[in-house]
Structure 1
Amino acid sequence: MPTLAFDTSAAHCAAALVMGGRLCAQRHEGMARGQAERLVPLLEDLLAEAGLRWHDLSALAVGVGPGNFTGIRIGVSAARGLALALGLPAHGITGFDAFAPGGDTLVTLPAPRGRLYVQPFRDGRAEGPPCLTDPAAPAGLPHRPVYGIGGSALAQTLGVPVTESSWSGIAPAIARVAATRPAPPDKPKPLYLRSAGAALPADPPPVILP
């Protein structure tokens, strides 16, 4: 049965359709903004390319981060709304799970200011929570091969091999992971690993009168 996956956690709008373990169609459009307006039309184009309709789907999957705050909210909100309207399960898949190849590894994703999001995996399963680290001075990370995006500097620091992925493969990877999992009991939730970049206002909040 077809699984439709999409991701807006970085500067892109990406989607893929997987059926029976086979990639049927995919789209990846780079964009710094505008994902909210583009996502649903892109999904409809993808379904039309595969000759399917919304009610032909068996499941949805969405990238829950880490990444851009607004982009993650757009993707997760769309997945929840579509799942409710179509009566489908919606899987929330982290970028770490999407790019993890199996075995004992470190999976990386780019973070602001030259830092990295990192999560260790053992035997293909997450080992401990992800963290935000400086690739030039990582602390407490095991020496394992590095996979994912942007991990070259970390691999050089640790003296381990690195295999770089690209954002163009995020949606197919999310779809394939979701297709191997049972229907989730909970709705997708964003994965945030840092505080929001917006500064709090300096003026005191207004007094609300009774």
Structure 2
Amino acid sequence: MPDTAFVDGKKKWPKVLTFDTSGPFVSVGWATESYSGGAVHDMARGQAEALFPLLETQLADCRWTWDDVDVIGVAVGPGNFTGIRIGVSAARGLGLALGIPVFAINQFELAHGYSPLPAGTLISVPAPRDMSFVQGANMGGVLISQSGLLIDPADPPADFQLSGGMEIRGHRAAEIASHFDATGIDESYTTDPGRMAEIAEFKYRDATAFPPRPAPQYVKAPDAAPARDPGPAILA
């Protein structure tokens, strides 16, 4: 239900339910008033089958029903291609079925918070195979893609030039900074369901209308390739 204006009486303290399936886990979070929490369930596969039972368990723990939920938040990436699709598809379906807003939250927001990045700051979050997804703004006039970039911290791209005074924070930040005239601060980021729910709550409170439906934030193509063999003939 995108681009729908909020009716009068928008709640100051909504009941928020969020989830993240962009990695080898299902993270389910909640927030209301000044409280938040949730749980992370590690799993290398099976997120699609596990997601809704875990959401039902979280609702029961909060003593909520689906009718109580005012806001959905979903992690849109970057991360695992299939996992992102699972989460985004589920969130879209819930938003449509419940008639409530769904807010997209990316991993850079989960790492640095809801506030815009300070000028000259690059955020690095873990990517598969010990690579990094990076995002930043206003670095010597250069905007690092809003969707992020995938780089090897040990061998950043030759055209990945950062300005003097840049500060890099996060996954293998000092190693990335060593290739440039920049400061690197290593920080470890892990999925935090309560923080995610708080970000969704902040987005809701700032919004004047339903946001567009969430869309996957892919930084790299899926590892799987299309099948080379021709598909079966379809008989009329």
1:42, CA displacement in angstroms?
0.9
Contact persistence 1:73–1:190 (CA under 8 A): yes
Matches within 5 A, 1:190-201: 190-201=216-227
Q: 1:114 is matched with which residue: 107, 121, 130? A: 130
Once residues 167 and 152 of structure 1 are traced to their aligned partners in structure 2, the CA distance between those partners, rounded to angstroms, is 18
Higher relative contact order, chain-length normalized (CA < 8 Å, sep 6+): 2
Query: Is structure 2 residue 20 aligned with structure 1 residue 7?
Result: yes
Q: TM-score of the superposition, structure 2-length normalised? A: 0.76
Once residues 90 and 137 of structure 1 are traced to their aligned partners in structure 2, the CA distance between those partners, rounded to angstroms, is 38
Contact persistence 1:100–1:148 (CA under 8 A): no
Q: 1:173 is matched with which residue: 191, 195, 213? A: 195
Superposed CA RMSD in Å reads 2.5
Uncovered stretches (5+) of structure 2, i.e. residues with no partner: 1-13
Contact persistence 1:116–1:151 (CA under 8 A): no
Query: Is structure 2 residue 187 aligned with structure 1 residue 164?
Result: yes
Corresponding letter in the other structure for 2:215: K
Quote the residue 2:152 is aligned against.
Answer: 134
Once residues 90 and 173 of structure 2 are traced to their aligned partners in structure 1, the CA distance between those partners, rounded to angstroms, is 30
Once residues 173 and 157 of structure 1 are traced to their aligned partners in structure 2, the CA distance between those partners, rounded to angstroms, is 32
Once residues 90 and 149 of structure 1 are traced to their aligned partners in structure 2, the CA distance between those partners, rounded to angstroms, is 29
Matches within 5 A, 1:18-167: 18-23=31-36, 25-101=37-113, 102-104=117-119, 105-121=121-137, 127-129=143-145, 130-138=148-156, 139-142=160-163, 144-149=166-171, 151=173, 153-158=175-180, 160-167=183-190
Q: 1:200 to 1:41 in 2, by over 3 A?
A: closer
Contact persistence 1:62–1:75 (CA under 8 A): yes
Corresponding letter in the other structure for 1:172: G
Contact persistence 2:175–2:184 (CA under 8 A): no
Q: Deviations over 1:26-58 (max 9, x none)?
A: 010111001111111111111111121111111
Q: Deviations over 1:123-172 (max 9, x none)?
A: xxxx5411111212322245533334454533554552425243231x22
Q: TM-score of the superposition, structure 1-length normalised? A: 0.84
Uncovered stretches (5+) of structure 1, i.e. residues with no partner: none
Corresponding letter in the other structure for 1:54: W
Once residues 11 and 150 of structure 1 are traced to their aligned partners in structure 2, the CA distance between those partners, rounded to angstroms, is 20
Corresponding letter in the other structure for 1:190: P
Contact persistence 1:65–1:191 (CA under 8 A): yes
Contact persistence 1:99–1:165 (CA under 8 A): no
Aligned-residue sequence identity (percent) comes to 39
Secondary structure in 2 aligned to 1:107? strand
Once residues 21 and 106 of structure 1 are traced to their aligned partners in structure 2, the CA distance between those partners, rounded to angstroms, is 30
1:115, CA displacement in angstroms?
1.9
Once residues 177 and 163 of structure 1 are traced to their aligned partners in structure 2, the CA distance between those partners, rounded to angstroms, is 23
